[in-house]
Structure formats: structure tokens, C-alpha cells
Structure 1
């Protein structure tokens, strides 16, 4: 993983390497003593690479340092690198190395001569001074210092229009205001213009002093409260209403994946609304964090200040508002922002914005409902807090109704007590019974209309309780009792599988006349069998659950539809061609039944997005899977913030998809955050799920070359999964395959080959030769046999995997195309050009891109075809294809530099009239995403 760049060096240098000399001070490049014309951006890239010779400089760091806040796209950097390479090539220097999907490295040796220092980074401003770069505004007064900037209020002298300028020069100060610009763009582009968020109007990150220009949102809450008598006169409801403005702004930010991390009165501005009243405005996102960096690409925003080497530089924040887990060093979450809001709510209610929440704070709040809400928001254990800010907003917004309900419940309790006493007196005085009944009847007739709805709810609750009692009896008497016929305790220790088998046999007999309960039991059994890895039985029970729910409630009932989506997920996971086809048909039919509800932010939309994500992901269709999972993630956070199992499944698949797209740094940041998130503690989601998160992190670290850290993670995850699910379970075997791949990447062929053979054998024995997972592991074993064992055996395994996947899962199967490309490449290396060309003819760019989104698949196919044509003797056509493809791949900047060098050497051999040589290395052969 690239290391974080050190603090900027304020010295400037003259650099020399070979025949090349570069003067930073003059921005002058010379080759063999002669000046070379070069544009400013490529020279700035060169300066940054030279300052980190031998180190990988990420694309994000290059964008942040060179393009400095201007919205741009990836090809701009690739173009600058291409121009730089062309300039250096004039001196025979080809030292810029592309690190695929990460960045670039400049290889030494170089020498440097210090020429002097850059100007000092101190900011010195005075009131009345024009704003540098915005001279029509004059600085009025400083507003204070924050983590990343010095903040001033400025005004236009004639119009008196106010602006706020946040200045920064270098280091963390500049990064903070860049980060704020980025995140405010995310908020604006996603949420639109909002009165409760301060707008960023412009910025200057190119010339010093750099600044962020914002609208003036009013005085800080601290200043406003001290100067405005209105605050002291607010009643409790007014204070809650004001707080809700702040909480809604935070909730909106959370909804698009932005944590504020520094919620406090100083970062809340107050201004008067045009129609009267006061508007709260949330500001200062300089310490904030973006939970899903992939959102930047979706919105076309460059991640300024959000480099991959800085997933989260400390918890930030102000001590009084820091949640306990942040003080303990854990990463910030939605619940840590919620904690700060709870403290703020307490301060607003007591009218003291500096008072800490000390033990006994509850005595300061005279409303038990508010006391409970604050307590739930600020619990020392984040797992016991409310699940989201939206939940706190909901509770506070319904305070009047909650108070009414509480009073009604208290009144009902008193009435019941009085009725009981009256009944006892009536029994003692029988002559008065008739009169008492008459009076009570009149009261009951009047109250029955008011309580009708409650009685209906009680009836539903009673029905559910009766069903729960029936299910409990079924489990305790029919199941455990049958497994313990003596009745005095277990005569043997039944396994979970035995209990489930007995339940599966008896559920139809026990609940024959109650389809609703029978559907519920079948649904629970389906989930249980899926957890145990028996997807065939899971599918059978979920089909029964859907059938009985439809009989009890109708085919369009939400419960029936949710069960159908659960069946889609299980069918997709089962990995057979028939089940995957059935899952696709059922998904489309269920979506059609749900209809317009798919566009709403409701439970069915969540289930639909989740099912679609699973369906596409199991077929390695990464882009549509990620699109579905992102929607599911947003809805889960909103609707089921405490559903740890669903959250873990969705977010782990998001991380997996990010990993498969090659964004290693983002995937690692997501996975480390998940492993530190209390919601995903093993006690809540199970050790097996945590093992799944660890194996993905191991894969990402493997892809970065950090094998020593990746291997123990992968081995521990596979051991834990094997202990829970068994050594031959699908998940265990896939994780063992990852262990084998780490050995393979690290050059330990013998260990890799031994594990790969075991995985393939066990997969075939447990699941059959024709399962997609077995065929993928067959192909993976083919890679390792080819690299480390018997090359001919390796080619045979690749042929088996490719043809089997196409035959059973369709011509467009992503894994089939990945293996087919690998086979064609291996055949080229073996000199079997005729067979290689036949294999190449069946490939298409769309399927290859679905498995590996790195740009340039059309060019890679043309390069491989050109190579095979050269080998077959068609020199003219082959060279033309190969030369054109190599030039295009080099310009992309994302191709494997070793592969480019190999192809360039082949062209040089052809031009020199030499015989074609087959490279012995298989480095360019990609492994299908399924094996990853």
C-alpha cells in the first residue's frame, strides 16, 4: 500500500539524472544541455515524482497537488504522464513506472542541488485589507481558527454583502479546506441547495494564500445565544424545534455518506429567516469524512483532501462532544455524530452551551421523554444508542403525540385500578350491581369509539402471541422433546442439523390449518438451512413459505413479496445454472408485482435492491451489482440502521465490488472501518461474517503486494469458517483458494499448488463438477499448474473451466471470458498460434470489462491477435495490429508496464528481423474476479 507523503519540503532543487536536468525554480527542463519545451502540468508532476524517488505517488495525490481543486478526469493525468515520458525519452530516460490502478513511481538514481526556499507559509492579515484574489471584498474581522484554516468575515464596501473566507497555506490547513470543498460539492450535488447547510461559492487552490469562499451563514450559535435575548426566553418546545433543524441537516449529510465529526455550537450558525424566525445552519466540514469514496466517481468529483493514504487521520472533533469510543481510538461512525447531537440537545434544553454532561445530568431535564431520548443518544456503549440521527429526529418530531399517548396510558391504568376497586365494592354490595353496570355501560359505549383502533391492534398482537406460543410449543415439545424421549433432559446431544431436519418433517403436520404461521416457520427454516450452507433445502423451505404466505395474505402482500426476494437471493447463491435462471425470472416478476413501490424509500424497495445486488454479483456483473447495493445501503441505513446482518452483507459486497474494480485503497478503508465498527462485532453478526470481512481485506492487501500481512488474515479467516461451517463448505473452500492465491502471488508455487488441488477436489466432491464455483476453481488450479506444475495440465484445466462455464451458464458468462482470454494468452506463449486465434475469436469486450473494469480491453484483444498473427507468419497484418494496440495501451496509462514492455520488445524483434521468442512469464494472465 502506498505510504503517506511526508510534510512538504519548502526547499526548491535542481535535479539531474542521466542527460536530463530539471530546475524547479525556473520550471525548466533540459536534455543534453538543450531546453525542452514542456507544459506546466507535466513539469509539476515530474517535480512531485522526483521528491519521492522510488515511492509510489497515488493518482489522488497527484491530482490534489498538481491540479489543485480544479474538477478534472483521469485521462488528464495519463496525458500529462505521456507528455512527460515523451520529453524524457529524448534523453534516453524511461524511469516513470506505472503502478496499475494506483499511481506512478520514478526510479532512481537522481542527484539534487538545493537552490533556496519557498516563501514562508505564515498568514498575516489585518482588518480593512483586501482579500487576496478577491480585492473587491475587504477583511472585516477574524472569526477564529479551525483545524484546517484561518477564518475571516469580509464585506463588499458598497453593497455590504458579507462573505466568509477560510485561508490555508500548505499541509493540513490546505488539505482541510480542500476536503471541505469536496464534501460540500457532494452535499450540494446530491441534496441540492439547502438553507440548513452553508454554501461554498468558490475557491482558490492554485495561488497563495489559498482560500475557500463561503456564504455568510450568520453568527455562531455561541455568539448568537450570548447576544440575543430571544434565546433565553425560548420555551422547551422552541428549543427542540431549533435543535431539529440541526439534526435534520446532519441526517441529510449522513444520508449521502458524509460524517461531520465536529458537531458543536461553534459550527452551527444562526441567521434570521426572511419570513421571521431563526434558521440554524451547519458549517465547517473540514474535519469530515466520506463513508463511500466511490460516490465521488459517481458524481464526477475529484477527491481533493481525501487521499487514499489518509482514510481517517484521527477522530478529530472537540473533547466535550467526543463519543467515548473515539477517545478510545475507534473510527468515527454515524453513532459518534449522534452522540455529539445528544450533548448539544442537552445544552440547548438547559440553556447553557458550555455545560458538560456530568453524572446526574438527568435532574436538569424535567421531561422524562426527553431524558430518555438524550440518554439513548449519548449511551456510553455505541451499540446501545439509537441507530441513526433519523431515529432521534423521529422521536423528537412526535413528542406531542408521545406525551398524549403516555398520558392516555397513565389514565387507562388509573381507570383500570378504579374499575377494579368498584368491582370489588359491587361484589360486596350486590344491590348496587345493576346500577353500577348501567353506569359502566354508558361509559364503555362512549369510550369504545375512541379505543376501537387500539383494540384492533390488541387483537393483532394477541393473534401474534398465540402464533408465537404455538411455534414455541412446536420447538420445545415436538422437536426437542422428540430428540429427548425420556423427558428428563437430553439423552444425547442433538446437532442443529438434526433439529432442523426434524422440524422440516413435522411443520406440515403441526400447522396444516394455519398457513400464516406455517409460512413463518418455513421462512425461518429456510434462513437456518442457508446459514448452514444447505442451499437446496433453503430454497425448498422458502418456496413453501412464499406459497403459504400467498395463501394467507395474498400474492401482493408485502410479507409474500419480501419472501420472494429472499428466495431470489438464495437461488442466486446456489450457483447452479437452473437456479440462477429461475432467480432472474422471479426477480423480474416480483419487481413487476411491487410496481411503483420500487421507487419509494420503503422496505420493499430495500429488499428489491438487496436481491438485485446479490443476483448480479453472483454472476460477476460488478457494475449493476454495485449500483443495486449502493441503493440498498442507503435504504438500510435509513430504514433498518440496527439490522447488523443485512448491513454487514450489503457493505461487505460493496467493499468486494470496489476491490474487484481495482480501487484497492478505498476497499481497504471500507473493510478496516467495518472491522472496527461496533455494529459488526462478532457477537452481533457471528464469527463467520467477521471472517468474511477479514478474507476480503487479505485479498486487497495481496493485490498491493503486502503478502506478510495478508497471509495470516486469510489463514485465520479460512480456519474460523471451516470450524463453523465445515472443511468442505463452499465459503471455506473459496477462502482457502484465496490463501493459495497469496502463496502464488508471493512466488511460493509449491504451497499454492498443493492448496489449489485440495480446493478443487473438495469443491467437485461436495457440489459436483458442473457448479459455477467448481468450474472457477478448476480454472484457478489451471493457472497454478501452468505456472508451477505441468503446463499441459494447466492448459487442460483452463479449457475445462472455460468450456464448462459457457456450456452451463451461457456464452456471456464473465468468468468464462476471463478464463478464455487467459487460455488464448497462454497458447500464444506456447507458440500454438492456430488454436490461440480460434479461442480469441469467441471473446467479447463487454464480458471481459464486466469481470475487470480496467480500460482498454479492446486494445488488449487487438494486441493479442497481432501477436498470434506474427507467430503464424502474417507479419504485416500482425505488426500493424500490435503497434497500434501498444500505442493505445501506453496512452491509457492503466496497462501493466511489464506487459507493455514485453510487447514493445516483440515489436523490436520483428523490426530487427529476429525470430519471434515466446516470453516465459505468464504475468499478464488475469485471474477471474470470482477467484478473488
Structure 2
């Protein structure tokens, strides 16, 4: 199946028959906007060459080292604090781009050569060629957002910032570098004396200080000239976030005070211990620890990182030097996470909730952030992507490897696996440090769980190995009989994975309720089920088949022995029913899927209760399955199940957990299949962040949710947004064909084709749609629902482009195959019937077109209720068509049955009540009842014109009718 798992009305035209496509979500013609030309001509320079100025004697600025606050437009840059603001809001940007801006501002209107910028900003250090272009690009991105695209490129020479600008003196830069010595008082904290330096970087120093009498220790982080001021401000803010949300913890360094007003700026912290590298060098403790003790120590660090992630704080610079170690009382060692100067708050709005001033934090992030220590930087961050929870996880994985081998300096070079004896730990490190972030573990919490359950996993691995050995014996038995088609093995493998995954899901739910012996017995029962009841049926003398079975026959065979094999174990039986239900739904057999899911609900209810998480997930899965079926009875049962599941879920719907996620998907799909687009979009928007947080690697789930959001945008006329989202999805590695299947990606392409069709870009839309339909036909078959819907889109593109000769045969084929495969009275068939009616009418056969439209409208109302959205869209189109054919009495009868709410549900464009009033007035005037019709037109037409939603030609025709003499 495609990603939609059934998406009706993929190409239905909503209202008019011939010329009026503007209110149909799939047909909004909008001229694509052209990108603004940001190029600037360079003024003539002093050298006589256009655009070139002589090199400056001092590219870094005046020798008096004056500091200024610069302002132009909505942009303000404070050199003393090294802070860029736009419209009063701080912009998050690395130090180097701001240094480039400072140089350009000091020579506004002049060309600054690349060599001068390298010398001024990078101080002659060796760098890669693109660092300057990257820094300028980040500046431009920030300035463009403020409408101040002032940085001009002078080809092969350098850059120029155009004026005018204002500047206000802020003071003087200190005429010396920071010079601290042991024994001197801390500036501004005279009662503490500097004892020894702990670290030094460009623009900052870290010192240990003590109170001479009490010997209380403090750590002071100093910054001069604003270069590191934003970092220590950020650290102060984030440590407050951690303290106010998590309370006082021993695994974070406490920030006690700060000075951000006068130089030298500093942050005052408690003494959290010695750095991990120094601790390892000066103590023999780590060398004497076994693997369990090393894991216990590492888990202290991981737990701190996970706690920070839990309140939305990314560390971004996890490394041994940022882990402190101190003695615990009465014994043992405490790891402590420090240095949040490069960190990031994922939800800045939480600061207001906590009453915290966002020092050093910004609401605008200009570009990617590749700050951090290279050895521990995730590959995607090095490549320029923004850091995420998984980039912190990557650094933790490196640290885990180093702690386990006892060498904090060794990089993870090829062959590192030989250093780790335990294959499970090798797997854990591999999954934490995979170069592809989408293949890493989903969170630090998942790594902690895996490491904490190492012994249980060893036992489980041994059981799995035994099951694999048993399966291998069965495979060898099959090979000795006769060769089978290779996809049979793949079928068994896929089903086995589904069953084992379902059992694992159940296992997590039951872990707290049952003892280990019962778990082992159930695992053995599942293994026997796979080996004997599935693989065994293919062996000589097996009861299942004496021929090559199809996938469907395999699933049928899998469902037969459940009662006998698991008669006294409803929990395991329910998990297998749930897996089979998902499999049948994927194959498009909704009836069998529903049967298995009903059985899963019954078994789960017996085992765990009606409100258990597994039971509710099965209920929500059944809601989706019934909605996809598209029958009136299915919709009614789905609605009842949805309401009951929500009642049982209760407060969990408002939480950010599994129940809320599955409920949102079920509700979104139910409304979508009912063509209730606004509530469907709302539900899927609720599901999207939950999926990204709870199951970031669950590609099929991500595909379903995100495609539903894009489809809803298309149907609501938000075509440009939909196009952008679809192009993003097609480039997302999580949603690559090898992860979600070619047919699912084809579904994305068909939606992009619909967007391009609605924008009038038919030459781009047609090849996309044809390629998508060809892929679906090859994989799913020519009569599959997805294939037919995509063929319908191809027909609609030809229709919109005015090519009836190509549109009509395809539309007739789609309608014929849909009726034959799914029945005359299914919603999808009736919609394609109406679509064919549009095309027959447009292409000249008015009577045939009206007949098909009438059949679609009446069939949808009869089988799916008077409020069916598609029925009302076709009815409105019928009313207009009958008016064109001067069949005024029939047209009025159609208008009488229209419902504003149903029309709005299918098309959220405002003004439906006015539109119906105008249509009624038009019909009455044309029918000779001007006295009744003109007041309706007089009331509706000016209001519609003010809304701006109608075609000017339609407004002109109504005005002409209003002004015509009797």
C-alpha cells in the first residue's frame, strides 16, 4: 500500500464544472513568486578600478580599540557585548561571523578584501577556504531576515557593507590580554584568591579560587571583550532552567553568581571536582574497575544528559574534560556534568513559564552550529546540520567506548570493535555512534535502558540464538526437499519480525507483572509457533501446503492455529492477532484486518483490561482500518470505537505519550477518510511532534503523518506550503524508498504533482504523476486502489491542461476498475464517478457528465449520509451545471439541499453562505423571478467581491446580471 493507506478524493474537483476551479483545493492557480534579486552593484573605488578599494592599513579598526554600538535599520550590533539584535531580539550566531561584521562596519562603504578579513578575523591561522564564505552567508541570512541585505560581494576580491550606519561609543577595549596570577584577588570578589588555572581558551580563562580562611573553593569563568560573554550568559540561564525544573542535583555543577556588567565578565560556580582526564591520570580507580563498575560510572553521566534533554537542554559539547569527578560521602565517586556555555534550549518559551530572563539565549538561530570538540562532534553537525538530541547521544557513545577501554584519548578508529569483548556493548556503541543520525538510538534514555538491562538482554539473546538455530534446521530441511521461490523466505521473515516485534511490545508491558519463567515459556511458545505452524507447513508432509503459497495464503495459515497453540494465553495470542491485523491492513484486506484486530482487542482486554495501553492501541488501529474501508457501516463503527477508546484513555490523551500519539493518528485518519479536512489536519499536527519524540526512527508512521499533513494543506488550498513540505519530505533520509518503500515515495510524488497541477505547472506535474502511477502499478498491481487514485490524478492534469483526448479514456478506465474491484457503492468509487462526470461535461458530452455527477451525488448521500462532504461538493457543481443548461427548477432543488457546514468542511475558503445566496439569486433571475433573485444578488455580490475569493470574471457576470433590465 502507499503511504495514504487509502486516500479518497485525491483528484475530485470541488465546485464548478467548466471554468470554476478556484475553490477546489487541488486547483488554485497561483503564479509562483520570483526570488528577490539580492545582487548589488559595487561603487567605484579609490584605485580607479570599479568595485575595488586599496588595502587598509589596519583592517581590524582604529588603533584606539574603541568599542561601538552600531545600528542600521532594525539591526543593532554591540561590540562590547559581542551581541547582534534584530528588531530588539538577540540573534544566535557564532563568534567568527560577528567578527566579520565588526570589520565590515568599521569600513562601511569600502571593499574589504578576503585576505584582510582572514588576517583580521582568523589572525593568520590556517583555515579551510570556505570558512569566510560560510561566515558571510550566516550574516546575510540574519540581515536578510531584517530586510537589510547590505553585504555585497565583489567577485574575486572581497565584500562590502553599504551604509548608512549609526554608531555610539561604548567604551574602550582593554589594552592587554587577560593576565591573572595565582594569589591575586578575584576582580569584584576580593575575598577569594586565585589558586590555579583550570583551563584557557581564546577570550576566556577558568580559575580555581579559594577563600583564605574557610578554604571554600569556587570556580570562576572569565571573559573579556564580549567574545565569550554570550557563552557564560547562556550557561547561567541554562543552569537556572535545570535547577528550577529538576531541583538541586549532584550531577550538575551549580552556578552561584555572575558579573555581566563590567570587564572582566565572569561566572562563579561551585567546585564540582577535577576533570575526568585529570582524575584518570591521578587515580588508579578506573583501571581497577570491571566492566559493570565502568558502566555504572558512565550511567551517572548519561543520566545527567538525559535529565537535561528531558527539560529541553542540549549540551552540544560532551567530552571527558566537561565531566568532573569528586569524592562522595561516605564513599565512591560522583560524576558531574559541567560547561553548558555552548548549549541550546530547544523550547525557549519555557523561560517565560519559569520566570527566567533569557541571558545569552536567542529566539533566532542563524545557521547551523558546529561548535564543539571535533572528536566528539556528530558527522551531521560537522556537515552543517543543527545539533539534536542524537548529536549529544553520538558524543556519549564515544565517551562510553573510551570509559570501557580505560583510554580517554583514543579515537574510535576502524576496528574499534576488537577492543570491546561484549557483542551487546559493541551493538550499543554502534547504535549510539552511527554516522546516519536516523539509524541511531532515539534518545539517551534508550541507551540508559539498554545498558541497565544488559544481563536480561544476554539471556534474551541466548534464547533468540537458540530459536535461530531451530529455524536454521527447518530451513535446511526445506532445502533438502525442493527449491522454493525466494520471496517465500522473505515472507516468513517479514511475518516473523512482525510477530516478534509485537511480542516485544507485549513483553515491555508485562515486564513488571510476570516472572522470568513465564516470560521464557511464552518466548518458547512463539518460537514453536513460527517453527512448527508456519515453517513446518512447508516441509514434506506438512499440513499446510504442497505447493508454493502466496503471502495471503501464508497469513491465512498463520491465523489458523492460534487458539490451539495459545488457548490459555490471551496476551500472546492478542499480540499475534494485532500483528496479523496490521499485515492484512497493509495488504489492503480491511475485512480480515478488522477481524484480527477485534480478536486482539478481546484477548488484550482479558489479559490486561480494557484501558490498558496495548488494548487501546489495538482499538485505535481498528478505528483506522474501519475508516479506510470507506463504507457507511465502517464509519459508524469507527466513530463509536473512537469515542469509547477516548473515554477509556481519559487524561492520557492530554499527555505526550503513546496513547496520545495513536489516538491522534486514528482521529486524523478517521476525519480524513470522512473528508473532514480541518479536524484531520489538527489531529495530525498533534501526532507529528509526538512521533518525532517517541519514535523518531519509525519511518512508516512518520510517512503516514507527514503525508496526511501535506494532503490536508493541498485540500485547504495552501498549495505553496504543501509543495514546500512535500519537497522536504522527498529529501528526508528517514523517508527514503529503502525505508518506507517505493510505493510510499510514489505517493509523495503524486501529491507533489497535485500541488504543481494546482499551480498551473502541468509540464512539471505530468511526468511526476506518470512515474508515481507506474511505480504503484508495478508494485501493487493495476487494479489496486492507490494505483487507480494516481491514474485519476493523471487524468485531472490532462483535464486542467485542456487535453480531453487524453483525460477522458483514463478517467473512464479508473471508474470502471474502481467499481469492479471495490463495488459500485464504495465512497472511492462514487467519487471517481463524479470525477468522470466533470470530465465528460467539460469535454462536451453534457448529458453524460450530468448523469455521472447525479449518480455520484445521490449515491454518496444515500450510502454515507446527508452531511457527506463529497456529496455536497458534487451537488454544488450539479446546481451550477444545471443552471448553465437552463434547467432552473432542478438547479434550485439542488441548492435547497446544500449545507454550508458540509461545504466548508470540504473547502475552508470563507464565504459559502454568500456563495449559495448568489447562486440562488442567479438561478431565480434567469428563471424570470427577478424580484426575488436580485435582492439576494445585491446582498451577496458586494460581500463576495470584498472577500476577494472569487474569479473577477464570475463577479463581473453576477454584477451584469444584477444590473440587467427586466
Q: Does structure 2 retain, via aligned residues, the 8 Å contact 1:350–1:364?
A: no
Cross-structure match for 1:553:
608
- Higher share in helix: 1
The 1:384/1:803 distance shift into structure 2, 3 A limit, reads same
Q: CA deviation at 1:538?
A: 1.5
Q: Does structure 2 retain, via aligned residues, the 8 Å contact 1:613–1:625?
A: yes
Deviations 1:715-749 (A, max 9, x none): 22222222333222222211211121122122221
**2: CA distance between counterparts of 1:770 and 1:891?**
41
Q: Does 1:234 align with 2:234?
A: no
1:487-636 → structure 2 map (5 Å cutoff): 492-636=547-691
**2: CA distance between counterparts of 1:906 and 1:750?**
32
Cross-structure match for 2:538:
480
Which of residues 753, 765, 779 in structure 2 aligns to 1:698?
753
Deviations 1:155-198 (A, max 9, x none): xxxxxxxxxxxxxx9997464368699xxxxxxxxxxxxxxxxx
Q: Does structure 1 retain, via aligned residues, the 8 Å contact 2:726–2:748?
A: yes
Cross-structure match for 1:467:
525
Which of residues 208, 220, 232 in structure 2 aligns to 1:218?
232
Q: CA deviation at 1:512?
A: 4.1
Q: Does 1:790 align with 2:845?
A: yes
**2: CA distance between counterparts of 1:233 and 1:764?**
75
The 1:410/1:651 distance shift into structure 2, 3 A limit, reads closer
Q: CA deviation at 1:769?
A: 1.4
1:110-149 → structure 2 map (5 Å cutoff): 127-130=66-69, 132=71, 139-142=79-82
The 1:408/1:864 distance shift into structure 2, 3 A limit, reads closer
**1: CA distance between counterparts of 2:806 and 2:571?**
53
Q: Does structure 2 retain, via aligned residues, the 8 Å contact 1:697–1:710?
A: yes
Q: Does 1:378 align with 2:436?
A: no
The 1:480/1:366 distance shift into structure 2, 3 A limit, reads closer
Q: CA deviation at 1:135?
A: 13
**1: CA distance between counterparts of 2:795 and 2:364?**
37
1:405-444 → structure 2 map (5 Å cutoff): none
1:852-871 → structure 2 map (5 Å cutoff): 852-871=907-926
1:740-779 → structure 2 map (5 Å cutoff): 740-779=795-834
The 1:365/1:878 distance shift into structure 2, 3 A limit, reads farther
The 1:179/1:631 distance shift into structure 2, 3 A limit, reads farther
Q: Does structure 1 retain, via aligned residues, the 8 Å contact 2:869–2:905?
A: yes
**2: CA distance between counterparts of 1:229 and 1:589?**
54
The 1:339/1:556 distance shift into structure 2, 3 A limit, reads closer
Which of residues 329, 340, 344 in structure 2 aligns to 1:280?
340
Deviations 1:369-423 (A, max 9, x none): 9997765343123343122xxx125546x79xx57x6699999x9xxxxxxxxxx
Q: Does structure 1 retain, via aligned residues, the 8 Å contact 2:672–2:680?
A: yes
The 1:862/1:105 distance shift into structure 2, 3 A limit, reads farther
> Please, what TM-score do these two structures have when normalized by structure 2?
0.59
**1: CA distance between counterparts of 2:229 and 2:930?**
65
The 1:620/1:548 distance shift into structure 2, 3 A limit, reads same
Query: Which is worse superposed, 220-229 or 503-512?
Result: 220-229
The 1:209/1:171 distance shift into structure 2, 3 A limit, reads farther
The 1:463/1:265 distance shift into structure 2, 3 A limit, reads closer
**2: CA distance between counterparts of 1:863 and 1:215?**
64
Q: Does 1:836 align with 2:888?
A: no
Q: Does structure 1 retain, via aligned residues, the 8 Å contact 2:937–2:958?
A: no
Q: Does 1:712 align with 2:712?
A: no
**1: CA distance between counterparts of 2:570 and 2:337?**
56
**Could you say what secondary structure the match of 1:129 adopts?**
strand
Q: Does structure 1 retain, via aligned residues, the 8 Å contact 2:627–2:634?
A: yes
**Could you say what secondary structure the match of 2:783 adopts?**
coil
Deviations 1:622-643 (A, max 9, x none): 1211222222222222222222
Deviations 1:826-882 (A, max 9, x none): 222223232222211222222112111222222322332232232122335544433
Deviations 1:84-128 (A, max 9, x none): xxxxxxxxxxxxxxx95867989xxxxxxx9x99xx9x9999844
Q: Does structure 2 retain, via aligned residues, the 8 Å contact 1:743–1:752?
A: yes
Q: Does structure 1 retain, via aligned residues, the 8 Å contact 2:856–2:871?
A: yes
**1: CA distance between counterparts of 2:630 and 2:778?**
23
Q: CA deviation at 1:568?
A: 1.1
Query: Which is worse superposed, 143-152 or 740-749?
Result: 143-152
The 1:804/1:662 distance shift into structure 2, 3 A limit, reads same
RMSD: 5.5
The 1:518/1:140 distance shift into structure 2, 3 A limit, reads closer
**2: CA distance between counterparts of 1:716 and 1:865?**
43
1:804-843 → structure 2 map (5 Å cutoff): 804-843=859-898
Which of residues 142, 148, 151 in structure 2 aligns to 1:176?
142
**1: CA distance between counterparts of 2:821 and 2:77?**
74
Q: Does 1:660 align with 2:715?
A: yes
**1: CA distance between counterparts of 2:957 and 2:631?**
44
**Could you say what secondary structure the match of 1:601 adopts?**
coil
**1: CA distance between counterparts of 2:522 and 2:833?**
50
**1: CA distance between counterparts of 2:840 and 2:727?**
34
> Please, what TM-score do these two structures have when normalized by structure 1?
0.61
Deviations 1:640-670 (A, max 9, x none): 2222222222222122112222222322232
1:882-897 → structure 2 map (5 Å cutoff): 882-893=937-948, 895-896=949-950
Q: How many residues in Structure 1 have an aligned counterpart in Structure 2?
A: 677
Q: Does structure 2 retain, via aligned residues, the 8 Å contact 1:239–1:348?
A: yes
Q: Does structure 1 retain, via aligned residues, the 8 Å contact 2:94–2:369?
A: no
Q: CA deviation at 1:780?
A: 0.7
**Could you say what secondary structure the match of 1:218 adopts?**
helix
The 1:699/1:337 distance shift into structure 2, 3 A limit, reads farther
Q: Which fold has the larger relative contact order, with Cα–Cα distance below 8 Å and residues 6 or more apart in sequence?
A: 2
**Could you say what secondary structure the match of 2:80 adopts?**
strand
Q: CA deviation at 1:550?
A: 2.5
**Could you say what secondary structure the match of 1:855 adopts?**
coil
Q: Does structure 2 retain, via aligned residues, the 8 Å contact 1:127–1:141?
A: no
Which of residues 897, 900, 903 in structure 1 aligns to 2:955?
903
Q: CA deviation at 1:555?
A: 2.8
Q: Does structure 2 retain, via aligned residues, the 8 Å contact 1:644–1:679?
A: yes
Which of residues 407, 413, 419 in structure 2 aligns to 1:359?
413
Q: Does structure 2 retain, via aligned residues, the 8 Å contact 1:373–1:392?
A: no
**1: CA distance between counterparts of 2:345 and 2:100?**
13
The 1:828/1:137 distance shift into structure 2, 3 A limit, reads same
Q: CA deviation at 1:349?
A: 11
Task: Give ranges in structure 2 of 5+ residues lacking alignment.
Answer: 1-26, 35-40, 45-50, 52-58, 84-92, 103-134, 148-163, 169-225, 237-263, 278-295, 324-335, 349-362, 462-510
**2: CA distance between counterparts of 1:170 and 1:830?**
64
Which of residues 649, 668, 674 in structure 1 aligns to 2:704?
649
**2: CA distance between counterparts of 1:550 and 1:171?**
58
Task: Give ranges in structure 1 of 5+ residues lacking alignment.
Answer: 1-98, 107-113, 154-168, 182-206, 255-259, 271-275, 290-303, 307-312, 414-452, 916-932
**Could you say what secondary structure the match of 1:280 adopts?**
coil
